[in-house]
Structures are given as C-alpha cells and as structure tokens.
Amino acid sequence: MSQHPFDYKVVRELTPEQLFAVIDDWVNTHSSNISNAGFITKALNGTHRTLQQNFVGMFFNVLVQYGQQHQGEFSFDARNEDAVMLCRKLAKLVEDGELATHLRFI
C-alpha cells in the first residue's frame, strides 16, 4: 500500500492553475493552524534532497516575484500588507545581490 492516499497520476497531470486552486483551497481551510507549517516542513525533510532544494527554490521565487509585483502604494491593504512587506524585503535582498533566486540542481 502506498504511503499517500491519492493517485499520483492525477497529481502529475495537474496544470499549474489547477495545482494553485488546490493549494489556495487548502490554505483557506487550514491556514489558521500554524502546526501545518511544521508538518509540511517535516514532510519536505523526508523527500529526496534534490526535490527539497527544488521545492524551496520554487517557493522562494514565488515570494520574491510576489514582492516585485506589489510595488505600488495601492497594491495591498491590511489583509495582505505583512505578506507584501516581507516579500518586498526578500525581493530587495535579491536585487541587491545578497540572495540568489537560482539554487543549484544536483
């Protein structure tokens, strides 16, 4: 029996838009429980190390791009202000050459 209760064939066929819809719904339902971050981190640590690097690199780039896209004064309000400010700081570190957006693929 597989350790995961879902069909990987379905997962592999998801478009990025469909994957985001699943993540969006999951976060909307479970985001108030901070222990989910710990579970996801633990699960991530159990995957192949190359996949760990790819996962972190992909989500880091999502955060950086989110910060870059929210540059206008009216591009956020109190509901997403903290997220925008955090991501703007990450984007600035990348812009200043202090962080790289590309992680090695080994």
Q: How far apart are the first and last CA of the chain?
A: 30
pLDDT at residue 5 in the model: 65
Can you tell me the mean pLDDT for 53-72? 92
Residue 87 to residue 64: CA distance in whole angstroms: 6
Say how many CA atoms lie within 13 Å of 27 toward its Cβ: 7
Percent of the chain residues topping a pLDDT of 70: 93
**Amino acid 73: pLDDT:** 73
Distance CA 72, CA 87 (A): 14
Amino acid making up residue 22: V
What is the residue extent of each domain of the chain?
15-46, 49-106
64-73, 79-88, 94-103: least confidently modelled range:
64-73
Percent of the chain past pLDDT 90, that is, above it, reads 60
Contact between 70 and 84 under an 8 Å Cβ cutoff? The reply is yes
- Neighbouring CB atoms inside 10 A of 64's CB total 20
How does pLDDT run across 1-44, given as a tens digit for each residue? 346 667 778 888 999 999 999 989 988 888 767 778 888 899 99
Q: What is the pLDDT of residue 2?
A: 45
Of the two residues 84 and 38, the one the predictor is more confident about is 84
